[in-house]
Structure 1
Amino acid sequence: MAENNAPVVNKDTMIGELLQIDTELAPILMSIGMHCLGCPSSQMETIAEAAMVHGYDADDLVDEINSYLSAKAASQPAQA
């Protein structure tokens, strides 16, 4: 986890795991053309595999996801 308690993902994170972290990540995935999020096989793809199949740079996708997660965590009230 990052300093602000945001989860951090990498290119080996599975799409299924990613959506368990935050279902609100679905629009980011759909924006690269990944409209098959409910498909069982997509759940077992890594971020890198999904990016490759959809012609998107995996590092850019990971950066976008981590930026979203960090911003969301920063906007949450601190927990005691």
Structure 2
Amino acid sequence: MVTRDMNIMEIVQKYPVAVEVFQRHGLGCVGCMIASGETLGEGIEAHGLDVKLILDEINALIQK
């Protein structure tokens, strides 16, 4: 399960399917240098997006 406090790059490494959700919401997390030191919550909020919505989407894909 992915949480808002997890590091973005760790999420991508552990759950590559998360990239699909990032792309769907216009988040370039994978290519962003800041992603290695930023939590998912920080990254999403920096773009003015809904953290819960994106977390729910990522976790739903992981469960499939």
Q: What TM bracket, shorter-length normalisation?
A: 0.7 to 0.9
Percentage of pairs with the same residue = 30
Equivalent-residue separation in structure 1 for 2:29 and 2:55 (angstroms): 19
Is 2:8–2:36's contact at 8 Å kept on the other side of the alignment?
Answer: yes
Q: Is the 8 A contact 2:8 2:29 kept in 1?
A: no
**Who is 2:9 aligned against?**
16
Please state if 1:54 is matched with 2:47.
yes
Letter of the structure 2 residue corresponding to residue 54 of structure 1: H
Output the amino acid matched with 1:27: E
Normalized against structure 2, the TM-score is what?
0.83
Give aligned pairs, total. Answer: 64
Using structure 1 for the length normalisation, give the TM-score: 0.69
Unaligned runs of 5+ in 2: none
C-alpha contact 2:22 2:29 (8 A) present in aligned 1 = no
Structure 1: 4+ residue segments shifted above 3 A: none
**Contact 1:33 / 1:54 at 8 angstroms: preserved in 2?**
no
Distance in 2, Cα, partners of 1:10 & 1:22: 12
Question: Rg: which structure is higher?
Answer: 1
Greater helix proportion = 2
